[in-house]
Amino acid sequence: MSGNIRAGMGGWTFEPWEGTFYPEKLSKAKQLQFASSHVPTIEVNGTYYSSFKEPTFLKWASEAPDGFVYALKGNRFVTNRRVLGEAGESMMRFLGSGVAALGDKLGPILWQFAPTKKFDEADFGAFLRLLPEKQDGVELRHAVEVRHDSFIVPEFAALARKHDVAIVYADHAKYPAIADITGDFVYARLQTGSDDNHDCYTSEALDAWAERAKVWAAGGTPADLPRADPAAEAPAKPRDVFVYFITEGKVRAPFGAMAFMNRING
C-alpha cells in the first residue's frame, strides 16, 4: 500500500513560461487548463496576498481535471502577527471565503511563517488549536512552514503531531530542514533548484527526491533527512505526498515537476 504522490509548482501565471512551458500563442485564459493537465497539483501563492471569492474557486475547480489538487497558501494576515492565538477571526475569514468550493480538488492549506517568527510553545500551540478540521463540510488538511532555527526542537514536532498538522520539509539554502512526519500526509517544498538545469534539479537530485517521496508514501521516513525529534517514530502507514518546485528563477520549475512525476510513474 502506498499514498498518492503529486508534484507541481507555484502558480500557473508567469510570463517567462509563455513559449517555454506554455505553447506559443496559448491564451492566458487557457493556461490553467494546460498546466493542470501536465502536473497533478499546483501550490496557489495568490491566496497568501489577496482575497478570493467562491466563484473564483469554482472556476479553478472546473478548469482542472479529475484527480487534480490545489494546495492553498493561507492568507498572510493569519500568520504574520505577533500573537498567533489572536488569528482566529482572520483565519475564519480566509477559510470562509469559498475555499470549500474546490471540493475534492482542495489539497493542503499551507500556513507559512516569517523567518523572524521564533518558536514559542504556548504561542504556536494556540495557533494550532484554531485550525478547523472541516470547512462547509469539506475536510481540511493543514501544513505549517516555519523558517526560524528555533523550531528545530522536539517540542515543536510533538506539538504538530498532537494536532495532526504536517511540518513542511523545506529544501532551502537558509531555512531549517525538518523532516519529522507529524500528520497523515507529507508536504515538501524544493527550493534549491536552478534555471541552469533543464529540469530545475540535476538528474541525480531528482532521482534522490523521487526515492524519498516513495519512502514517504509507503509510510516510512527517509534516513538521510534531518529531524527535530529523531527519537520519535511516526506510525508506518501510507501517506499522500505533495512536492512543490519553488525556485527563485522559477522558469524551469514546471519541468522539474514533470521530470519528477516521470520518475514516480516509472
For residue range 44-83, what is the model confidence (pLDDT) as tens digits?
999 999 999 999 999 999 999 999 999 999 999 999 999 9
Q: What average pLDDT does range 86-107 have in this prediction?
A: 98
Q: Which residue has the cell 478547523?
A: 132
pLDDT at 266 over 90: no
Residue 263 binned pLDDT confidence (cut-offs 50, 70, 90):
very high
pLDDT of 116 strictly over 90:
yes
Give the span between the Cα atoms of 105 and 32, in whole angstroms.
14
The continuous run of DSSP H or E covering 130 comes out as helix 121-130
Kindly state the percentage of the chain with pLDDT values over 70.
100
pLDDT at residue 123, as a whole number: 97
pLDDT(248) > 90: no
Cα-to-chain-centroid distance, residue 172: 14
User: What's residue 193's pLDDT?
Assistant: 96
pLDDT in tens, 169-206: 999 999 999 999 999 999 999 999 999 999 999 999 99
Backbone phi and psi for residue 9, each to the nearest 5 degrees, phi listed first? -135, 180
Averaged pLDDT, 35-40:
98
Domains of the chain: 5-264 (3.20.20.410)
Beta strands 138-139 and 166-167, pairing class? unpaired
- Predicted pLDDT at 216: 98
pLDDT of residue 146: 98
Count of CB atoms within 10 A of residue 93's CB? 13
Mean pLDDT, rounded, of the chain: 97
In this model, does residue 1 exceed pLDDT 90? no
In whole angstroms, give the CA distance from residue 239 to residue 40: 16
Q: Which amino acid is at 84?
A: L
Question: 196: which residues sit within 8 A by CB, 6+ positions away?
Answer: none
Residue 164: left (phi > 0), alpha (psi -120 to 50), or beta? left
* 30-44: average pLDDT: 98
Question: What would the pLDDT profile of 124-177 be if each residue is shown by its tens digit?
Answer: 999 999 999 999 999 999 999 999 999 999 999 999 999 999 999 999 999 999
